[in-house]
Amino acid sequence: MTKQIVVLISGSGSNLQALIDAQQQDCLGGHISLVVSNKKSAYGLTRAANADIPTAVRTLKEYRDAGKSREDFDRDLAEFIASDYAPDLIVLAGWMHILSPAFIDRFRGRIINLHPALPGELDGAHAIDRAYDEFKAGSRSRTGVMVHYVIPEVDKGAPILVEEIPCKEGDSQEDLENRIHAVEHHILPKAVKLVLSGNVKSSE
């Protein structure tokens, strides 16, 4: 039976496109059955529609406006995904919303995240900006990309794939970003296929 994948995005969806391309080349190891965005304007929704992948938009603002909590949002999102799609894997591909245990506990060991930094370095938001600032300050010579399992502690889950990226003399921030994004686009589909093949396990 084909493994089912749900992808969560917040923006342009370039990493989603890498997953779609891998799926179309039969190199993903599963089928993307749903793309969820927490931003109505995310271009990734268009990418999904162009590939005939169902989409959904769920925004935290709607919950805030109704007097509900982040945990309510996460719990309802988990219920929607679990009930309607029953995914084997959930991929956070530029999902800019920190998930609470209300979501994570529903899919323990089945959520992975792409993060533009090496394990134990530059956890959280703006990792590329921070890496470049440290490089310009002379305190960093390399950064990287990892795909890791998601646990409640941000960017602390067990790594699945890691690739180091050098910071090169004369780099602009755009140069470094472009090298990081190129690595992201090939490492994420590889990690998805690896996880779905059963050849790597969550430490939980």
Active-site positions read: 115
- The DSSP line for 166-181 is EPPTT--HHHHHHHHH
| φ/ψ of residue 8, rounded to 5 | -110, 130
**Residues in CB range of 191: below 8 A, 6 or more apart:** 112, 114, 147, 160, 161
Residue 164 near residue 142 (C-beta atoms within 8 A): yes
Measured CA to CA, the distance from residue 51 to residue 45 in angstroms comes to 10
